[in-house]
């Protein structure tokens, strides 16, 4: 049941719990309790909204920063990762396999703001050996959702 709830919420976190319960063939209280438990256990971490900022007047710049680090004795990557996550302008931090160690997604108002952050805050951290910044030009798909305008369905109204 958990897996099914999670899949439904992942698609639509605003789904009516009453409807969700009907669709799963169970009752609302059970769904509600299960969700509450998963929130407490940190399985469900939040319910943010996916926004296509390009369509608003808002100026926003997103960058992917490849970060190479020297793991610190006794604490590996964890301590540094935690430090990086604390900056509010950092949207995501992933530990990666391959040519670099952390993938950091940053969001800022302007190019300058992002580069300032990288040069003055990120690359000055002790364990960081190098960074490489890539600016996002356009988002086509994010979190599994296609951002492009979808052509209208060509399905006919009535077929037998």
Partner 1 sequence: MRNPLSDTVVQLKPSGIRKFFDVVQEMPDAISLGVGEPDFDTPWHIREEGIYSLERGRTFYTSNAGLMELRQAIARYTYRKCNISYDPKKEILVTVGGSEGIDVALRAMLNPGDEVIIPEPSYVSYVPCVALTGGVPVTIPLQEKNRFKLTEEELLGAITDKTKILVLTFPNNPTGAIMTKEDLEPIARIVREKDLYVISDEIYAELTYGVDHCSIATFPGLRERTIVINGFSKAFAMTGWRLGYAMGPEVILKQMTKIHQYCIMAAPTTSQYAAVEAMNNGEEDVQEMRNAYNHRRRYLVERFKQIGLKCFEPEGAFYIFPSIQEFGMTSEEFATRFLREEKVAVVPGTAFGECGEGFLRVSYAYSLDELKIALGRLERFIDRLRSEKF
Site size for partner 1, by CB under 8 A?
15
Do the strands 128-135 and 141-142 form a parallel or antiparallel pair, or are they unpaired? Answer: unpaired
Identify the residue among 1, 2, 10, 19 touching partner 1 (CB under 8 A). Answer: 19
As a whole number of angstroms, the distance between CA 28 and CA 70 comes to 50
- 131 to 160: interface string for partner 1, x by CB under 8 A: ----------------------x-xxxxxx
For 129, phi then psi, to 5°, come to -95, -35
Identify the residue among 1, 2, 23, 129 touching partner 1 (CB under 8 A). Answer: 23
Q: Which among 14-22, 29-37, 68-76, 92-100 is the span making contact with partner 1, rule CB under 8 A?
A: 14-22
Exposure string of 48-76, with b = 16+ CB inside 10 Å and e = fewer, is eeeeeeeeeeeeebbbebbbebeeeeeee
Is residue 24 near partner 1 by the rule CB under 8 A? yes
**Interacting residues toward partner 1 by CB under 8 A:** 4, 8, 15, 19, 22-25, 153, 155-160
């Amino acid at each position: 049941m958990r897996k099914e709830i999670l899949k439904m919420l992942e698609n639509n976190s605003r789904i009516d719990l009453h409807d969700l319960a009907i669709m799963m063939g169970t009752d609302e209280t059970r769904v509600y309790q299960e969700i509450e438990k998963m929130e407490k256990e940190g399985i469900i971490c939040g319910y943010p909204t996916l926004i296509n900022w390009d369509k608003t007047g808002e100026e926003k710049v997103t960058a992917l920063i490849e970060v190479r680090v020297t793991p610190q004795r006794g604490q590996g990557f964890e301590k540094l990762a935690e430090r990086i996550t604390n900056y509010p302008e950092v949207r995501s931090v992933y530990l990666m396999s391959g040519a670099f160690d952390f993938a950091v997604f940053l969001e800022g108002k302007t190019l300058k703001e992002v580069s300032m952050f990288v040069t003055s805050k990120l690359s000055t951290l002790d364990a960081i050996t190098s960074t490489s910044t890539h600016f996002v030009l356009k988002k086509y798909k994010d979190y599994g959702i296609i951002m492009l305008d979808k052509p209208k369905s060509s399905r006919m109204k009535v077929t037998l």
